[in-house]
Every structure is written in structure tokens, then in C-alpha cells.
Amino acid sequence: MKKLFLSGLIFLCCMFTTSCSQEPVDGTRFLFNTICTLTVYSEENPDESAEEIIEGAFDLCEEYENMFSRTIEGSDIDRINNSNGQPVEVSPDTADIIGEAVRYGEISGGAFDITTAPLSILWDFEGDAPSVPPAGEIEELLKTVDYTKIRVEGSTVTLEPPAKAIDLGAIAKGYITDRLVEYLTDNGVTSAIISLGGNIYAIGTSDGRPFRIGVQDPAGEGGAILGYVEISNKSVVTSGDYQRFFVQDGKVYHHILDPETGYPTDNGLASVTIISDRSTDGDALSTSCFVLGLEDGMELVNGIDGVEAIFVDHDGNMYFSDGFGTGMEFVQA
């Protein structure tokens, strides 16, 4: 009763004032090994409060984590990784995301490869005391990296040897973000920001204007930004070498691996930010471009309609895809 009364009031307020804004409602959870925040600025579902919708969205995140996580026993990915080449029946979403990941393997010429999992496990970037693994072990596991050994038929996934394991870390947050956009808009949310560990999507507008999303300075401290882009109903995703890494003998070893060498990519790039309609594309492409490097990565992005990119190198230089200046703007901080 109270809820109905409140939303009635909000409706009236929207009718009579042009710049009506509800108090934003937000929620934060630690999921996918990172901090996830949902902020709802306006919603028009008379049956559910923004708090309830956010709660439902996080429940959905948990369902996805239980399907996609490599480290949760019994998840679809865990079962595939323990299948010894046998077909595994998975959820339609798991089959779908693996299909997308294989497609990005093809699009990126193998720079994006979810079968790098055994190498990520060996490097153990998230462990307590990671160190550079012996070259021989890297060499050995490189033989298992081959996304073409993944077969998806309906909701059956087969991981054929020598491929050994898959990890969706480079695409899952984007894929789940797209599902959250569907969930939130289906529940009447008209203005919101989804942030899954910096994997961002802006639904609608903020008081009638696009949302401003900052692009982090890879060399900066405390979340300093280089500038921002203005977006509405789009995703902004960044891959960088400053997010998860360790330092050994003065050298930085970060968590994005070159599937050709088995070592962290070392091509002078500090970050790649992708702006796209679907966050699945943004997530997969930011990792792909980070591995491909400036030249090949930029060529890839410029060949895809509706996708823009900002590359930042270790000298602080910024490089923009062709769409900047013709529709997309970057505003320097």
C-alpha cells in the first residue's frame, strides 16, 4: 500500500516537473572476485521497489557465477574442465557464452582464447605469493591452448584434448552485464548504472542527459581518470595491466596472457577501453585488443560497426578509433 502511494507521488512529480529525479538507490556485492555495484536512478514498476529489483538482479548474478565460475565445484565450467574430452550437458546460457567466446577466438585470430586457463592457473595471479613459473612448465601447458578444440552443439559442450580447461574471466562479466540490462529493463528500470568490477553499462539517461563514464588513468593513483565519454544505453569496458598483477625483479607480470607465448602480453599497452552496445562484445574485445596490440587491435575495432576504442600506452599516449569525432566524444579531464 505504502509502495503504491509512493510511486503514485513520484508519477505526479514526473508529470509536473520536467527534471524530476528519484533519489538513486544502490547496492554493492562482492561477486566474480570483484566489487559489483548497481545504481538505479529511476524505475516505473509499481509492484517492486528499486531495492527489490536490485536484490533480484544480484540473485541473478549469483546464479550466473554458479554456472560460469571455474573454481566453484559442480559449475558448468568445472564439469567441462573435468570431462576428459567427453560431451557435457550445460545450461543454455553456458552454451551461449562459450559460443561467443569461440567466436571471439576466431575474430581475434586466437589472441582471445579461453583455453589459456591452465596457464592462468599456473601463473596464479590471485594467489598469496605469485611468481614467474618455470619456462618448461609454461612450454608444456602451451600445448593445451587451442580454442578450436571447443565444440558447442545445442547445449552440449565438448572440450577435446589437447585442450584441458577453459576460463570465462575475460568475457563473463560482459555477458552477465547484458543479462542484467535485460532483467532491469524488463522490471521497469529506465535509468541505471551497472558496474561489475569496472565493467560498466549505462541504462537510459541521467536527468535527460547521457551518463559520463570516466576512463581510468592506468598510471594514476586512487582512480584518477584521463577523461570521460558520454553514453546512453551502452557499455564501457577496460582491460589493463594495472588491475591484477605482481612484480618480480622490477618487472610487472599482469593477468592477461598472450596465448602464443604463455607469458603476460608485453606490447607497450597499458589499457584498452571499448565502448559498445553489448557488454559481451566490450569485454571480449578489450581483452582481444589488449593482446593484439595497438595496430592490429585498432584495425579490428575499426572494422566493426558501432564499436569504439581508446588505447593507452605506457608513455601515457592515447589513441582513438575512427568513430571519435563523428558521434563519439572523449572529454579530457
**Could you tell me if 275 and 229 are in contact, meaning their C-beta atoms sit under 8 angstroms apart?**
yes
CB of 311 to Mg ion, least distance (A): 15
Written as nine digits, the cell of 101 is 567466446
279 binds, options ligand ADP, Mg ion, none, Cβ within 5 to 8 A by partner type: none
Query: For residues 225 and 103, what is the distance between their CA atoms, to the nearest angstrom?
Result: 32
Rule CB under 5 A: say whether 298 interacts with Mg ion: no
Residue nearest to ligand ADP (CB): 169
Cβ proximity to ligand ADP: between 245 and 319 the closer is 245
94 binds, options ligand ADP, Mg ion, none, Cβ within 5 to 8 A by partner type: none
CB of 135 to ligand ADP, least distance (A): 18
CB of 54 to Mg ion, least distance (A): 24
Query: For residues 275 and 231, what is the distance between their CA atoms, to the nearest angstrom?
Result: 9
Number of residues counted as binding Mg ion (CB under 5 A):
4
Rule CB under 5 A: say whether 170 interacts with Mg ion: yes
Instruction: Return the closest-CA partner of residue 242 out of 224, 231, 255.
Output: 255
CA 36 to chain centre: 11
CA 193 to chain centre: 14
* DSSP H helical ranges for 69-134: 76-81, 92-107, 117-123
Cβ proximity to ligand ADP: between 99 and 208 the closer is 99
Q: Which residues of the shown chain bind ligand ADP in the complex (CB under 6 A)?
A: 112-114, 116, 120, 167, 169-170, 173, 239, 243-244, 255-257, 259, 283, 286-287, 291
The CA–CA distances, whole Å, from 14 to 4, 64, 187 equal 15, 36, 19
Interface of this chain with Mg ion, residues 263 to 292, rule: CB under 5 A: 283, 286-287
Cβ proximity to Mg ion: between 111 and 226 the closer is 111
Count other C-beta atoms under 10 Å from residue 262's C-beta: 22
Cβ proximity to Mg ion: between 67 and 256 the closer is 256
| Residue ranges in contact with Mg ion by CB under 5 A | 170, 283, 286-287
